[in-house]
Chain A
Amino acid sequence: MRLTDHEQEMLAGGHGEAVARAMDLLVRYGEALGAERLVETRNVAGAFNASTPSVREIAEDSLDRVYSELNLDSDDTIEIPHVAVPTCQLITGIDNDNFAKQGVDPDLADLQLRSERYLGKRGINLMCTCTPYQVGNVPVMGEHCAWMESSAVIYANSVLGARTNVEGKESTGAAALTGRIPYWGLHRPENRFARHLIHVETEIDDMSEWGVLGYFTGFAVEEEIPAFEGLADQPSLVKLKHFGAAAASSGGVELYHMPGITPEAASLDAAFGPNAKPSPIVYGAVERKRTWERLQNASDRKLDFVMLGCPHNSIEQMALIAELLDGKRIHADTELWVHTPRAIRQVADRSGYSEIIEAAGGVVMSDTCPSISRKVPPGTRVIATDSAKQAHYLPAIAKVQGWFGSVEQCVNSAVAGEWLGVVQ
C-alpha cells in the first residue's frame, strides 16, 4: 500500500505508540483487502464499550487493555490517547437505567459506567445507539466515514449519500486514532453503481412491508448493489431504516439506489452507470407472501415477549406505540420492551409517551437491544417483533420462537397475550 509521508510517520511511531499500532492494523487490513491507499475520514462510529461478559476478563487487566486488544488487535497494552477525529459509540449491551430488568449482573453494569468515563475522557461521544443518524451524527453527501453497524452503514450510503464500508471494532478503533481507513469498496465512486434491478409489482406502504421488501432484497442480491423501480409510495426515515436493516441482515447489502428517493442516482441509467442493466428480479404478491412466511419462525401463539425498536425507534414510532397502548394494559404473561436512543427517550418522556407505555406495563429501553445484550425476560419461549432484522437474529441468539408483524399486530398481541398476526 502507498502511504503518505504523514501516514509513514504515524506508522513509524512519530505520533505515539497507540497511533503506530493503529496504522499497523490499517496496513494489514488494507493489504488483506488489496487496497492501494488509505483515505482521510473525520467521522467514525464504532463499538468501544466494555459491556459483555467476555470483555470482563480483559477489563480486569485495564480499560487500555480492552481498547488495545479489541479495538487495535494489539498483543501489548498501550496507553490510549484522545481520539484524532470525531468518533461515536454505537449500541451497547446494557441499558444504564434498566439493567436489572434486563437481567444484567450489576458488576457488569458498573463496568460499563467505568468504561464510559474512560471513553468520554478520550473524546468518544456516547450516543449508544445503532442509529447515530437519528441523534446528531448525520454525514453529508460524499463524506468518507468509517462506520460499523450494518443498518447504519446502509442508511448512510444509500439515504444520505455518504461513503463507508461496513467496518469492524478493530478498524474503527484504528480510524479513531489516525483519521484514516482503507480507500476500498464503497469509498470509490466506480464501485457504487447498481448490479441488480428489483422491479416492485406490489404496494409497499406500511413500515412492515418495507421490512419485508428489504428482507427479500438481501436474499436476492446478497452483498451486491440493487436499484429499484415500481415503488409508488414516498418512504420516510422510519421505513428506509427498517428496509435497510432487513436487507443488511438477510444479505450483506451496504448500498441501494431508489431513483427519485435516494440522492445518488436520479434515474435508473444513473444508478447503473457503466454496468449493463440486468433483467429485473420481480417482487410481486407471491414473493411478498413467501418472504412474510419466511420471517415466521414460530408455531406457538402464546406470547411471552414483544420487542419493538430495532433499529432504535424514532420519536414518531414512540408516539405511535403510545397511541396504540393508550388506556390499555399489556397481558400479565407478556412483556413489552420498546427501544429508542437515549436522546429520543428524553423527548418521549417530555411528550408523555414513555408514561403511557409504562402505564400499560411496557418498558422503555435505551442503549441496547435483546440481540446485542443476548437478554430477554426470564422464561421467554415465544417472541414477537416488528423488525425483520430482529426476527432474523433473535430466535438463533436467544433460542426462542419468533413471530414477525406490523407495529399494530405486535402491540395488539402484547395486550392479548397471544400472537394475533396473520400473513395476508
Chain B
Amino acid sequence: MSDAQAKPRVITLHGRKVVGGKAAAEAIVTTQTISGWGGINEREGSVIELRHELNGKSFAGKVLVFPGAKGSSGWSAYWHMLRLNGTAPAAMIFTRMTTKIALGAVVSRVPTITDLDGDVFEMIATGDFVEVDADAGVVTITKR
C-alpha cells in the first residue's frame, strides 16, 4: 500500500551503552515505568501490576522499550532472577537513568542502551523487529 511505502521501513538510532552485547528480537513497548518487586512475575517474565498497560504481558526474549524502573529497591534482584530463570528480555532500551535500572541491567547482563538520539516511543512500536548493538551504541528498527 502507498501508506506503507511512504514511511521508512528501517530506522537507525544512536545512544550510550549501559551493558554491552548484541541481540535482536521483536519489540514490546510501554511508555509506563515498570516495578520489579510487586510489578513483575520473575518466573514468567511478565508484568503483574494491576493498572499497568502491559499487565499480563510477557517481555521474556523480547526487546523491552520503556522509560525505566520504579518502585521498590528489589528491582535489580528481580531482574537478576529473570536471568537465572531464563525469562529476561533479549535487550533493553530505556530513557530515564536511575540506580534501579542501571543495576538491574548490569546484573541481568542483557544488552542495554539509553540516551538515544530520537524518540523511541514514536519510532518503535510493539511487534517491530529491533536489533540492539550495545557495544557500538546502535539500535536498528525494522518496522512491521
Contact = CB atoms under 8 A, between A and B. Distances in A.
Interface of A: 25, 28-29, 32-34, 47, 54, 69-70, 73, 147-150, 153, 165-171, 182, 184-185, 222-223, 248-249, 251-252, 297, 371, 392-393, 395-397
B104 interface: yes
B62 interface: no
B144 interface: no
19 contacts: A25-B106, A29-B102, A29-B103, A32-B19, A32-B102, A32-B103, A47-B77, A150-B71, A166-B73, A168-B77, A170-B77, A170-B80, A171-B99, A182-B99, A223-B70, A223-B98, A248-B71, A395-B50, A396-B48
Contacts of B100: 166, 168, 252
Nearest to A169: B77
Nearest to B55: A396
A168 B38 contact: no
Q: Is the interface of B mostly helix, strand, loop or mixed?
A: mixed
B142 interface: no
A168 B50 contact: no
Q: Is the interface of A mostly helix, strand, loop or mixed?
A: helix
A182 B70 CA distance: 19
A251 B70 contact: yes
Q: How big is chain B's contact interface, by range?
A: 35 or more
B16 interface: yes
Contacts of A252: 33, 69-71, 98, 100
A73 B22 CA distance: 20
Nearest to A164: B99
Given A32-B105, A222-B70, A252-B33, A165 B99 contact: yes
Contact of B38 (A153, A223, A393): A393
A396 B77 CA distance: 18
A33 B80 CA distance: 17
A405 B42 CA distance: 30
A81 B38 CA distance: 32
Given A170-B77, A170-B103, 18 more contacts: A29-B103, A32-B18, A32-B106, A33-B99, A47-B74, A70-B77, A149-B72, A153-B73, A166-B73, A166-B100, A167-B73, A168-B73, A168-B99, A170-B80, A223-B96, A248-B71, A397-B38, A397-B48
A197 B44 CA distance: 40
Contacts of A149: 72-73
Interface in B80-94: 80-81, 84
Contacts, number: 105
Contacts of A153: 73
- Give the interface centre of B72, B80, B104, B107 by most chain A CB atoms within 10 Å: B72
B110 to A, nearest CB: 12
A34 B16 contact: yes
A167 B71 CA distance: 12
Contacts of B84: 69
A408 to B, nearest CB: 27
Contacts of A392: 38
A170 B76 contact: yes
Contacts of B38: 371, 392-393, 396-397
Contacts of A171: 76, 99, 103
Contact of B73 (A150, A251, A297): A150
Contacts of B106: 25, 28-29, 32, 73, 170
Interface string B38-79: 110010000011100000000000000000011111111100
B11 interface: no
B97 A34 contact: yes
B49 A396 contact: yes
B76 A222 contact: no
A252 B99 CA distance: 11
Given A28-B106, A222-B70, A54 B81 contact: yes
A251 B69 CA distance: 10
Nearest to B49: A396
Given A32-B18, A396-B49, A168 B81 contact: no
Contact of A396 (B42, B50, B70): B50
B108 to A, nearest CB: 10
